[in-house]
Structures are given as C-alpha cells and as structure tokens.
C-alpha cells in the first residue's frame, strides 16, 4: 500500500507540468485506479477461495448478531419499509446491523439499498424477549 501511495505522490509531483504531460499523467492515474478496482472486484467475486472466505466471514458475523435474536416471518404490506419493520420487532435497539441480517436472509426481496417488495414474506430478526 505504501508503494501505491508513493507512486501516486511521485506522479502528482510530475503532474505539475502543464499541457499534454499533465493530461497524460491524469489519464494514466485514472486507468490505474480503474484497473485496481476491477482487480479487487474480480478477486472478491470470481476467485473461489477468496469469495468463500468472505462469505464465511459474513456468515460468522450474521450468526454473531443473531445470538440473542429469533428469526420470524413478516408479511410486508404496502408502505412498509425495512427500518419500520425492524424497529417493530427490536424496539430501542440499533438496527443498522440488523438490516444486513435481513438482506442476508432475503436477498431476492430486499435490495442493497434496503428497498422491500410489498406483498411478500420476509425473514427478520426479532428480540428474544
């Protein structure tokens, strides 16, 4: 990571040139950052060992969040959102991590921005009280 930061710093120093040199260095940096992003995405999704490791860590995290919870089925009516549903079953609790649990158990019904499809059943964590 230090070498990447050093390389970027050197390129930024060189980028003080005007005109074509500056544009060329800007294009090189943009391409480099885009390539790194593609490499990380490829490794985390298509390299089986890495994706399995990340999935198992996510499952461990979810299981840890469910230690004092039960899973229940909830019918989503029109106008409900994920926050209101989670607050209903987990009053006075921080629901930020519970959203991830709901998405984990309902990948087809809850989108990554936590939108819910109405008139479907979802599995949500609830306090075990």
Q: What is the pLDDT of residues 14-56, one digit of tens each?
A: 555 555 666 677 777 788 777 888 887 777 777 777 666 667 6
Q: Which residue has the tokens 């006075």?
A: 92
What is the pLDDT, as a whole number, of residue 14?
59
Q: What is the pLDDT of residues 78-91, one digit of tens each?
A: 989 999 999 999 99
Distance of CA 105 to the CA centre of its chain: 15
Q: What is the pLDDT of residues 55-78, one digit of tens each?
A: 767 777 777 778 888 999 999 999
What mean pLDDT value characterizes the chain? 80
Exposure string over 86-98, b if 16+ CB within 10 A, otherwise e: beebbeeeebeeb
Q: What is the pLDDT of residues 95-118, one digit of tens each?
A: 888 998 898 889 888 887 888 988
What is the pLDDT, as a whole number, of residue 117?
86
What is the pLDDT, as a whole number, of residue 61?
77
Reported as a pLDDT band with limits 50, 70 and 90, residue 6 is: low
The residue extents of the domains of the chain are 2-46, 68-127
């Amino acid at each position: 990571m230090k070498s990447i930061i050093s390389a970027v710093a050197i390129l930024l120093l060189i980028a003080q040139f005007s005109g074509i040199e500056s544009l060329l260095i800007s294009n090189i940096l943009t391409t480099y950052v885009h390539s790194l992003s593609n490499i990380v995405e490829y490794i985390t999704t298509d390299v089986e060992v890495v994706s399995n490791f990340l999935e198992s860590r996510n499952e461990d995290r979810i299981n840890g969040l469910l230690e004092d919870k039960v899973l229940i089925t909830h019918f989503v009516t029109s106008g409900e959102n994920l926050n209101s549903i989670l607050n209903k079953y987990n009053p006075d609790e921080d629901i930020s991590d519970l959203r991830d649990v709901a998405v984990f158990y309902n990948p087809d019904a809850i989108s990554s921005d936590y939108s819910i499809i109405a008139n479907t059943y979802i599995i949500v964590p609830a306090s075990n009280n």
